[in-house]
Chains A and B, each alone.
Chain A
């Protein structure tokens, strides 16, 4: 059993505040309007804590780290 996490952005809720890219630049870029672009949906083990912090920091709760592989 692996506890792989997959990033997901709720595009309806996201307002492009950009906190996720500040906390998880390894996996998240911002486009020119400040909205997040996922570089890689799968969260590697060494970034799991950072991913959790990014999920918790989103003021719109639009970033999710779902269980399972992409």
Chain B
């Protein structure tokens, strides 16, 4: 008889796995969105194929996100309640780090809804909401790094690094291929693409990779580095 050291419920494992997969899929969706929005056209495949892949990956992201949220709420280790899945920063357990994930989910739901209705809304209103996806991705990343059970695993850290490198690389690639004009927006994009890795590295070094993070993460003050 083999004894598997499965500590914790299967729901907890399902939640961790689906959360990580959702982050990878969201990263792929964002990378495709960034890469296909510029002037550069793919050589081997059609632009419409990139568009359909972007749509399908985003829907798959939401499927895994739904599994992630449902399993996390049902997991008996912490009693979260269903309100946590839509109301950010109200959780009894790690309110800040769960709240980032909830906020990302809310933003993605807004993007989903407006994309489904985009032919009625018109391009300006649809695009205005669609930009929120750029906010949802770092929120999801910091949610994973801040409260992810597996954050300390080297493999998980490499995965976060891969996600980060993909999106930052896509931003720089698009900026490099871009034509003239729209200087302000591109400066903001370049600054954000530089700032997110720096902030994430500093946060990782000062927070989750230090001993005692499990206790400090429980308080909001951990963001300021003052939590004990």
Contacts and interface: CB of A to CB of B under 8 A. Distances in A.
Interface residues of A, number: 13
Contacts of A62: 123
Interface in A1-28: 13, 17-19, 22-23
B126 A19 contact: no
Interface in B62-107: none
Contact of A22 (B37, B48, B126): B48
A38 interface: no
A54 to B, nearest CB: 8
A39 to B, nearest CB: 18
B46 interface: yes
B48 A57 contact: yes
B206 interface: no
A36 to B, nearest CB: 13
Nearest to B50: A19
Interface residues of B, number: 13
Interface string B109-135: 000000000110011001000000000
A42 interface: no
A67 interface: no
B124 to A, nearest CB: 9
A12 B119 CA distance: 16
Contacts of B118: 61
Contacts of B51: 19, 57, 59
Interface string A46-70: 0000000001110111100000000
Nearest to B37: A59
Contacts of A61: 118-119, 122-123, 126
Contacts of B119: 55-56, 61
B47 interface: yes
- Identify which of B37, B46, B118, B126 gathers the most chain A CB atoms within 10 Å of its CB: B46
A22 B46 CA distance: 7
A56 B41 CA distance: 19
A23 B48 contact: yes
Nearest to B126: A61
Contact of A13 (B46, B48, B52, B123): B123
27 contacts: A13-B123, A17-B47, A18-B41, A18-B47, A19-B46, A19-B47, A19-B48, A19-B51, A22-B46, A22-B47, A22-B48, A23-B48, A55-B119, A56-B119, A57-B48, A57-B51, A57-B52, A59-B36, A59-B37, A59-B51, A60-B123, A61-B118, A61-B119, A61-B122, A61-B123, A61-B126, A62-B123
Given A59-B36, A60-B123, A62-B123, 9 more contacts: A18-B41, A18-B47, A19-B46, A19-B47, A19-B48, A22-B47, A55-B119, A57-B52, A61-B126
